Chain A
Amino acid sequence: MKLIRQNSDLWNWSPVDQLSTLREEINRLFDSPFGELTRRMELFNGWAPALDLHEDKDNLIVTAELPGMKREEIDISVHDGTLTISGQRKYEEKNQDAEPYRSERFFGRFHRTLALPKPVQADRGTATYTDGILTVTLPKTEEAKPKQIQVNVG
């Protein structure tokens, strides 16, 4: 996504040389995934991993992007039709003498809630964590499952 088009007429009046660097900076900012601006704002409330919701015949399936964590650092709960995924990613001091050179990854607490669109049997839910993706599978209640209705030709 580009906020300002490179060849927009609006910009033609300006001394292009001076502005082009700034313009490239702005474009770069909005080109980056989800916009770096929103990520910067997340600094104030920790970070928010991306959530996806899928549905099949029997289940609601929620996936969350949580790269580089440990299973025990992730908490999952379902309460009143709301799924909560929370936890804390700890910064690991792997090397005593390591000096940070570039730090873009987020550490600390995160908390995401998702209102589930269908009633689920929370006690029968399962979760897996593979390749940095948390997958929570929640079976729908019998009432929420699609039903085939027999049409009797009479």
Chain B
Amino acid sequence: MTTIANAENRGAQTKNASANERGYFVPQVNIVETKDSFILEAEMPGVSKGGLEVLLEGNELTIVGHRQTGVPGAEPVYRESSPRDFRREFVLDPSIDTSRLSAKIEQGLLTVTLPKTEKVKPRKIQVTG
């Protein structure tokens, strides 16, 4: 019903092999629904406010995080983290008021608030008579 349906990897799957090599890292997300909005949290360690892009095109939301990798002036010895930038796409449900999106990033955790339109919010109906 209320889908902010997930379009993850859609781009990645249609890309050819050469484009995939410098592909993106798909961040892990949590999405919760409240009375007034959807709240999306995405893990983007190493991304500062300046390295973050939140793009809205029609009902498609794209989050991109450019990360700082490595330690300046030091040699890598052992590495588990990915050097790739983060990217993920979402298709937003029509119940979301795309004109009122807001985003913040704190300690590598991006939080996007997607408010619902007034129309779909639950209302109490006064009973008269």
Task: Give A residues with C-beta under 8 Å from B.
Answer: 24, 27-28, 31-34, 50-56, 59-61, 63, 65-69, 94-95, 97-106, 114, 117, 129-133, 135
Contacts and interface: CB of A to CB of B under 8 A. Distances in A.
A52 B77 CA distance: 8
Contacts of B12: 31
A68 B43 contact: yes
A99 to B, nearest CB: 5
B56 interface: no
B7 to A, nearest CB: 13
Give the interface centre of A56, A66, A104 by most chain B CB atoms within 10 Å: A104
A131 B48 contact: yes
B80 interface: yes
Contact of A105 (B4, B9, B28, B76): B28
Contacts of B82: 33-34, 50
Interface in B6-42: 6, 9, 12-13, 25-26, 28-35, 38-39, 41
A114 B12 CA distance: 34
9 cross-chain pairs, A with B, having the tightest CB-CB distances, nearest first: A132-B108, A68-B109, A67-B108, A132-B45, A54-B74, A65-B45, A56-B74, A50-B80, A98-B32
A52 B78 contact: yes
Contacts of A130: 107
23 contacts: A28-B9, A32-B9, A50-B81, A51-B81, A53-B76, A53-B78, A54-B76, A56-B74, A56-B75, A65-B81, A67-B43, A67-B45, A67-B107, A68-B41, A98-B32, A98-B33, A99-B33, A100-B31, A103-B30, A105-B29, A105-B30, A114-B78, A129-B107
Contacts of B109: 67-68, 132
A132 B6 contact: no
Given A95-B39, A132-B46, A133-B45, A54 B80 contact: no
A95 B80 contact: no
Contacts of B78: 51-53, 114
Nearest to A63: B71
Given A61-B74, A94-B39, A129-B107, A102 B30 contact: yes
A63 B81 contact: yes
